[in-house]
Amino acid sequence: MAKQPQPISPLKNFFAGGFGGVCLVFVGHPLDTIKVRLQTQPKPQPGQSPLYSGTFDCFRKTLVGEGVRGLYRGMAAPIIGVTPMFAVCFFGFGLGKRLQQRKPDDVLTYPQLFAAGMLSGVFTTVIMAPGERIKCLLQIQAATGETKYNGSLDCAKQLYREAGIRGVYKGTVLTLMRDVPASGMYFMTYEWLKNILTPEGKSVSDLSVPRILFAGGLAGIFNWAVAIPPDVLKSRFQTAPAGKYPNGFRDVLRELIREEGVASLYKGFTAVMIRAFPANAACFLGFEVAMKFLNWVAPGL
């Protein structure tokens, strides 16, 4: 049985989650850029080498060709979206836990925590899908040498002008397919690890910083172990020219399997896993610090 702090406050989760999300983006965005470029690089012609031979080659070429700024391409979109997105994500998790409690002191099981986490994935898609679309387009733009979009706002305006709101929200179903199960795994793993790491007779709210970092980082690893295949499909679909995949993710999946094999569903795996631990460790540490601050300044919130 899981031992979460009582009572659960979705509102505090909202504010603390927003701060945690900002921490995640600053730590994790460079490797997210590498991940997207690896996932969306064109298939090499016969006899030619791929644009990037792997994670470290992509990192080196980006750094040499574009400098440190190249690693932070497209960060404005997730920064603008990440505070409300993670706020809503943690709010959804808190609400999911609250809805499953019959009494305020009920202790939820791990399957119940997984279900609460899945609810958070549904909540975040409305914000996540357009931010991911814009981010991916800006991240691959620099690699192609073309300059179609002059920043996140210009990208959003052009997408809306070309295809309306559907153009901005292209890839929403794939974002749901990625985030709903992955979010369930994310939060359940974090709560499970917090319980394991809590010394006998102590409260989970008293965990040390290193233990919070370890639990948050490992939760990120578990999250992305579930999320990578739909994330590859999402990145490919969101950056494809209009009309290329008329049947949505099914066409993307068929093309990838036919041309590059099952292993193509794990493109960017190394970059994702290298990023997952520090980024999510920073996220949960930011969340826990903000939550303690909120409990101190607004105990009745």
Nearest alpha carbon to residue 117 among 277, 268, 227 = 227
Q: Taking a C-beta distance cutoff of 8 angstroms, is the pair 224, 276 a contact?
A: yes
Mean pLDDT, the chain, integer: 87
Tell me the one-letter amino acid at 137: L
Q: What is the pLDDT of residues 171-193, one digit of tens each?
A: 999 999 999 999 999 999 999 99
CA distance 226 to 181: 7
Q: Taking a C-beta distance cutoff of 8 angstroms, is the pair 269, 229 a contact?
A: no
Half-sphere exposure of 67 (CA within 13 A, CB side): 1
Query: Furthest-apart CA pair in the chain: how many Å?
Result: 66
| Banded model confidence at residue 204, pLDDT cuts 50, 70, 90 | confident
Q: Taking a C-beta distance cutoff of 8 angstroms, is the pair 65, 72 a contact?
A: no
pLDDT the model gives residue 1: 47
Q: Taking a C-beta distance cutoff of 8 angstroms, is the pair 110, 61 a contact?
A: no
Please work out, in degrees rounded to the nearest 5, the angle formed at the alpha carbon of residue 44 by the alpha carbons of 261 and 255: 35
Question: Is residue 300's pLDDT more than 80?
Answer: no
CA distance 299 to 161: 47
CA distance 236 to 45: 18
Helical H segments across the chain, by residue range: 10-40, 55-66, 68-71, 76-99, 110-144, 152-168, 172-197, 209-238, 249-260, 269-297
End-to-end CA distance of the chain: 26
pLDDT the model gives residue 19: 92
Name the CA dihedral angle for 95, 97, 98, 101, rounded to a multiple of 10 degrees. Answer: 160
Question: Is residue 290's pLDDT more than 50?
Answer: yes
- Return the CATH number of the domain spanning residue range 10-42+51-198+205-297: 1.50.40.10
Question: Is residue 4's pLDDT more than 60?
Answer: no
Q: What is the pLDDT of residues 79-123, one digit of tens each?
A: 776 778 889 999 999 999 999 988 877 889 999 999 999 999 998
Q: Write the Ramachandran bin of 243: left for phi over 0, alpha for psi from -120 to 50, otherwise beta.
A: left
Domain ranges in the chain? 10-42+51-198+205-297
- What are the residues whose beta carbons fall under 8 Å from the beta carbon of 216, sequence distance 6 or more? 190, 280, 281, 282, 283, 284, 285
Tokens of 159: 């997408």
Across 271-294, average pLDDT: 91
Q: What is the pLDDT of residues 19-56, one digit of tens each?
A: 999 899 888 888 888 888 887 887 788 888 888 888 88
CA distance 209 to 156: 39
**Of the ranges 52-66, 111-125, 258-272, the best mean pLDDT one:** 111-125
Across 192-211, average pLDDT: 89
